[in-house]
Chains A and B, each alone.
Chain A
Amino acid sequence: MSDLIEELLAGKHRALARVISKIEDRSPGYRELVSQLHEHTGNATVVGITGSPGAGKSTLVDKMAETYRERGETVGVIAIDPSSPFSGGAVLGDRIRMASNVGDMDVFFRSMSARGTLGGLSTATTDAVKALDAFGKDRIIIETVGAGQNEVDIVGTADTVAVLVPPSSGDDVQMLKAGILEIGDVFVVNKADLDGADRTVQELKEMVHMRDASPLAGTAGHHGVETDAVGEEDEDETDDGDDDTWTPPIVETVAKTGEGVEPFLDTLADHRAWLETSGELTEQRRDRYEEEIRRLLREGAGELIREEIERQGGLDRYVDTIVAKETDPYAVTEELLAPLRESVRE
């Protein structure tokens, strides 16, 4: 085992930080490091926090970490911020809001930049979560960038996804139109002290019930129209005695004051318990490992192809012939893949 992993397992923060850097940089040998982490993972619960910019994600994450710490648990946070499409640089600004946990090394807060790629980000995030898990963090929170497709990517890593919705976020709850509704296991109306919060809660409830009623949602009925009173959920209502379905509860929080954070964490725990009892967690993990193998295979195959292209002297020559209409991209691809295919089928 590498020294770095040994130090990480021994609880050295510097080693943990360095392993995450190597993962982010895809630096030589990072795959071996991640591979060594695997047998030490599986003990942490992973929560994803997503929602539109300004919804209060960072503030809520700060209060979540504080509350977990009060309960004697250790916390890892990965906060993702966008990077510049021009320079590739980034200002990673969420750390500034982690005011409750300063000086407490048992909250390990790490800023990550999207570095321009979505797929790459989810790989790096998944691997960084493994590092925090192996290090021994009880709770891991992933805070997403808050704009765009990364929100949907987070599903690939978190056990439970909480979607934050600010009050009055559009009369049709605009953000729910694309993607976000499907990924939320819990909805949080943060800034619940503001005008319009009640209405947003109501709109979310309608959305959730429409989702339940849709053919895609399986056989889940309209359980508990009156469910999920503000900030305090009732587990009997959320699963309605039927272990096979989960109706996303809607909780209200005021992250700035910490109001509603305890009930929110209890709701997350309920979801986790449901994942375990329903067998969903095992299923989810199997799916993820399968997807991970596929991804690594794609990466590995991609590398083989790059090597082959290099061996052939690069793509320029091919592009020239395509431009001259002597051949076409499909034919070139076929030609390049042929030797690989032959060696596989032999």
Chain B
Amino acid sequence: MSTQDSEDRTIRCLVAKVGLDGHDRGAHVIARAFRDAGFEVIYSGLHKSPDEIVQAAVQEDVDVLGISILSGAHNTLVPKIVEGLESYDAFEDTLVLVGGIIPDEDRDELYEMGVDGIFGPGSSMAETIEFVRENAPER
């Protein structure tokens, strides 16, 4: 890396598992794909509370927060995370993504909450990475 002031920022992501669901294969796969795309990925580990995710997102100053939920609890967990980010003035410039099992009828509500993208089981990795590259917030 040059020692000059650089315009190129490394995109930082938090891949978060929140709540009770204990399956994190998908989260591992996305973490690794993000790494291979040149992002810096912080993986939260399983069974985190919304507060813990917010703490990590704020301290690590991530550009992207990817929340993986398979348990169906997205309608209760995601709003708590959004509120938490707002309380630290961190919501505005964080790209919030939700991945996992999200029924179609719940999607609009998540988008209204401020979620920027939803990636279900059919989504391709390339598509997700492209979305992050294009939408990672300018700071």
A interface residues (Cβ-Cβ under 8 A, vs B): 13-14, 17-18, 20-21, 24-31, 83-84, 86-93, 95-96, 102-103, 105, 108-111, 113, 115-117, 120, 123, 299, 302-303, 306
Minimum Cβ distance to chain B for residue A233 (Å): 33
Contact B9 A20 (CB under 8 A): no
Distance A116 CA – B127 CA, assembled complex (angstroms): 27
Contact A302 B3 (CB under 8 A): yes
B128 in contact (CB, < 8 A) = no
Number of interface residues of B (CB under 8 A): 38
Contact A28 B60 (CB under 8 A): no
List of A residues within 8 angstroms of B139 by Cβ = 18, 21
Contact B61 A20 (CB under 8 A): yes
Contact B89 A14 (CB under 8 A): yes
List 11 additional contacts besides A14-B90, A88-B38, A109-B56; criterion CB under 8 Å: A14-B88, A84-B36, A87-B36, A91-B41, A92-B40, A95-B43, A103-B51, A110-B59, A111-B42, A117-B1, A299-B3
List of A residues within 8 angstroms of B136 by Cβ = none
Contact A27 B9 (CB under 8 A): yes
Contact A303 B40 (CB under 8 A): no
List of B residues within 8 angstroms of A109 by Cβ = 56, 59
Contact B5 A91 (CB under 8 A): no
Some 29 contacts from A to B, beta carbons below 8 A apart, are A17-B59, A18-B61, A18-B139, A25-B8, A25-B9, A26-B4, A26-B5, A84-B36, A87-B37, A88-B10, A89-B41, A90-B40, A90-B41, A91-B31, A91-B32, A91-B42, A92-B43, A95-B43, A95-B44, A96-B45, A102-B49, A102-B51, A103-B55, A110-B59, A115-B1, A123-B3, A299-B3, A303-B3, A303-B4
